[in-house]
Amino acid sequence: MYQSMNLSFSSNFTHRFLLEPRLCSGISARARKSLHFNPSCVSSGPKSDDPINLSEKLISLLKAIPNWSDGIKERRMQQKRSLYTHENWVRHRSSLRHLRHVSSSPSSRVILSLIPPVFFFTTVAILIAGYNSAVGMDWLPNFFPVLRASSLPYQLTAPALALLLVFRTEASYSRFEQGRKVWVKIITGTNDLARLVISSGNGSGEELIIKNTLLRYIAAFPVALKCHMMYGSDIANDLRDVIDADDLSLILQSKHRPRCVIQFISQSLELLKLDNSKIDMLESKMMQLQEGIGVCEQLMGIPIPLSYTRLTSRFLVLWHLTLPIILWDDCHWNVVPATFISAASLFCIEEVGVLIEEPFSMLALDELCAMVLSNIDEAIESEEVIRNQIIAKKRVHKIKHSSNGWHKS
């Protein structure tokens, strides 16, 4: 209604403007320019009738569900994961696990991420089924054909789609396994490096201070690498209680924070008075940490070849767009639940492959880093106690035995 009033008013104004040149001559050039370029200023209709605004609102409405599901998925990706304990394994093997997994489906990020594609393809199936039903009941003119096709192409390409999904998921799992193994090496190398530093001697004065500071740098390395790999990590908060504030400020200013921590460790090792054999052992552990940085950066920066991922996605989309047409003769309106089940199943497999392709968000890295810090603190506290007990046992043994091997009474 508003739009029709605007059009009629604009047309009347234009005719009067052309038929009355004398009246128009009294209008300034600035006014004519504003009337020519800003016709909306004389419009009484709302701005929402603008086709550009309508298209933008339609696009934003269509993106609302995908943005909502992607937001939930990304927030779940940043949640901290925990290491399994004996109680977790008992629950994991429980006979009620299937009921528990089904009941937790509404909160599953995999299932929530399936809402946009499954909803879209199910809607397409409903539209195709409605169109074919309308043609079959002669509600449309005779030149509208029924959308049907032979199922032979699907029977021939089904094994190819299955192999494509299997290879895609297998490639993603191999990346996850590689990420898990490299973090096992990083944690093992960090613990071995700390053990060698702790067993390097008591020391005193400045050497003891350097030794304790070095152990803090070693504990900070996996935390810095974890924050370097995971999006949304707060390295300042994670390292606040691990190292001093001045060292933390220098690490935060660095472009590559894990390598900055490596430099702290290297400089501290040079200040310790160690023999060459011990330095060589420490350097080998340092090389293990450097190798871990390289592998993690490769996993983060080099995904599965994008052509393979795109091929899988395009194959799935074309498969489900044409699935209602293929199944119409055999299923009729049953193509709707059939499309829903097929899309939910196949896209779920593809979604799992995409999620585990980036392995670091799937690992319990926070607990692994906390475990390293806890092990180092425990080793520092028990070092002196264990050494004193061993020395005391050695003295007791010397007291009980004489120099000639006879037992002293």
pLDDT digits (tens, 9 = 90+) for 322-379: 999 999 988 899 999 999 999 999 999 999 999 899 999 889 999 999 999 999 988 8
Residue 404 pLDDT exceeds 80: no
Q: Give me the pLDDT at residue 383, please.
A: 77
Q: In the numeric block, which tokens belong to residue 363? A: 């690992």
b (16+ CB within 10 A) / e for 254-276: eeebbbbbbebbeebbeebebee
Tell me the backbone φ, ψ of residue 310, rounded to 5 degrees: -65, -40
What is the tens place of the pLDDT at every residue in 293-332? Answer: 999 999 999 999 999 999 999 999 999 999 999 999 888 9
Give 232's pLDDT tier (boundaries 50, 70, 90).
Answer: confident
What Rg do the C-alpha atoms of the chain give, in angstroms?
35
Q: What is the three-class DSSP state of 82?
A: coil
Burial of 143 (0-12, 13-18, 19+ CB in 10 A): exposed
What is the tens place of the pLDDT at every residue in 8-41? Answer: 333 343 333 333 433 333 434 433 333 343 434 3
Give 122's pLDDT tier (boundaries 50, 70, 90).
Answer: very high
**Distance (Å, whole) CA 180 – CA 358:** 11
- Tokens 């400089």, residue? 267
**Distance (Å, whole) CA 139 – CA 142:** 9
Q: Give me the pLDDT at residue 51, please.
A: 61
Q: Which residues contact 182 (CB under 8 A, 6 or more apart)?
A: 292, 295, 296, 299
- Tokens 């809402």, residue? 115
Quickly list H helices, 272-334.
Answer: 276-301, 306-331
Average pLDDT over residues 89-110: 88
Domain boundaries, the chain: 176-303+363-400
Residue 178 pLDDT exceeds 80: yes
Q: What is the DSSP string of 56-69?
A: HHHHHHHTHHHHHH
Residue 403 pLDDT exceeds 70: no
Cα distances (Å, whole numbers) of residue 37 to 33, 34, 40, 50, 110: 6, 5, 9, 15, 51
Give 203's pLDDT tier (boundaries 50, 70, 90).
Answer: low
Q: Give me the pLDDT at residue 38, please.
A: 43
Q: Give me the pLDDT at residue 228, please.
A: 93
Residue 135 pLDDT exceeds 80: yes
Mean confidence (pLDDT) of the chain: 81
Average pLDDT over residues 73-92: 81
Portion of the chain with pLDDT greater than 90, in percent? 47
Q: Give me the pLDDT at residue 392, please.
A: 81
* CA 188-191-195 angle, 5° bins: 135
Q: Give me the pLDDT at residue 382, please.
A: 83
Contact between 328 and 335 under an 8 Å Cβ cutoff? The reply is: yes
Give 199's pLDDT tier (boundaries 50, 70, 90).
Answer: confident
Q: Give me the pLDDT at residue 12, please.
A: 41
Average pLDDT over residues 53-72: 66
Q: Give me the pLDDT at residue 114, please.
A: 87
Instruction: Name the pTM for this structure.
Output: 0.75
Is 201 or 312 the better-scoring residue by pLDDT? Answer: 312
Residue 207 pLDDT exceeds 90: no
b (16+ CB within 10 A) / e for 293-332: bebbeebbeeebeeeebeebeebbeebbebbbbbbbeebe
Q: Give me the pLDDT at residue 261, please.
A: 94
Give 287's pLDDT tier (boundaries 50, 70, 90).
Answer: very high
